Amino acid sequence: MNAEPIVRISNLHKWFGMLHVLRDISLSVQPREVVCVIGRSGSGKSTILRCINFLEEPSEGEIEIHGLKIPAGGRGREQSRLIHEARLRTGMVFQEFNLFPHMTVLENVIEGPITVKGMSRAKAIEIGEEKLDNVGMLFKKDEYPIRLSGGQKQRVAIARALTMEPEVMLFDEPTSALDPELIGEVLGVMKKLAKEGTTMLVVTHEMGFAREVADRVLVMADGEMIEDEKPDQLFNTPRDPRTKALIDRYRTGGQ
């Protein structure tokens, strides 16, 4: 791919006190590319996503979102402006759904475009209903979150992120809080987005999804990126023994 990356991370480090949780991470995500990040719990996977949109402040390095460069450690008004702009360019879907319980599905979805982007309510509703339809949740637009299943809540959360019209979607283990029978409906929506060309960076423990949908799979261990390969290469002939152990656990049902 010759296009400029949508996401470029350069020499990223993150400390929590004395704990060095990200160690010199560099990666890029191209337009329309789906990149999955796998690894054991505590390996630093989710921290990468949270650094991209500055929910966590990187300790060292640089985050770039489609040409917008944000160095770690900046302060002041200009840094705040850059972070705000970066967040407008990224859509984040969390493990927990974080829907407002006092708002209907549609109200949840249009809140961001209206309050953050200054979009007219009519335009936000138009886009919001389109995105709800895209994830199969338009029929629930007037319901409140309490009346939705976990899978339905997560699909609304995906629609909410899409309504902001981001350049890249960040998924932080979006199925980990779901009952097993509900995981498939969320993965189905994500597969559909991938086929439509949505740029996605996905932290997941769903190895089958990573193998089927990803263009590349990154493996994290102890705060380091130990592999970056196409799925078939990674799952069939992993180079690092830690990757092999991770895949073997998945194949024996231990994942």
Tell me the per-residue pLDDT of 43-93, one tens digit each, with 9 for 90 and over.
Answer: 999 999 999 999 999 999 999 999 999 999 888 899 999 999 999 999 999
Distance of CA 188 to the CA centre of its chain: 16
The DSSP bridge pattern shows strands 68-71 and 60-65 to be antiparallel
Banded pLDDT at 1 (limits 50, 70, 90): very low
Both tokens of 39, joined, read 């690894």
Tens-digit pLDDT profile for residues 37-53? 999 988 999 999 999 99
Mapped onto helix, strand or coil, the DSSP state of residue 188 is helix
Banded pLDDT at 224 (limits 50, 70, 90): very high
* pLDDT of 73: 85
Both tokens of 17, joined, read 């006190």
* pLDDT of 248: 87
Nearest CA-CA partner of 69 in 79, 55, 59 = 79
Mapped onto helix, strand or coil, the DSSP state of residue 10 is strand
| Rounded-to-integer distance, Cα 41 and Cα 56, Å | 18
Percentage of the chain beyond pLDDT 70 is 98
- What residue has token string 């949840």? 108
Can you give the pTM of this predicted structure?
0.93
Angle formed at CA 12 by CA 248 and CA 75, multiple of 5 degrees = 145
* pLDDT of 254: 56
Tens-digit pLDDT profile for residues 196-218? 999 999 999 999 999 999 999 99
Asked if pLDDT for residue 2 goes beyond 70, the answer is no
Nearest CA-CA partner of 202 in 218, 180, 181 = 218
The region of weakest confidence among 2-6, 14-18, 112-116 is: 2-6
| Rounded-to-integer distance, Cα 237 and Cα 243, Å | 10
Q: Which residues of 184-215 are buried (b: 16+ CB within 10 A; e: fewer)?
A: ebbbebbeebbeeebbbbbbbbbbebbbebbb
Taking residues 234-255, report their average pLDDT: 84
In angstroms, the Cα distances linking 3 to 7, 31, 139 are: 11, 7, 38
Taking residues 106-118, report their average pLDDT: 95
pLDDT averaged over the chain?
A: 93
| Rounded-to-integer distance, Cα 240 and Cα 243, Å | 5
Distance of CA 83 to the CA centre of its chain: 17
Contact 7, 64 (CB under 8 A): yes
Both tokens of 129, joined, read 């209903």
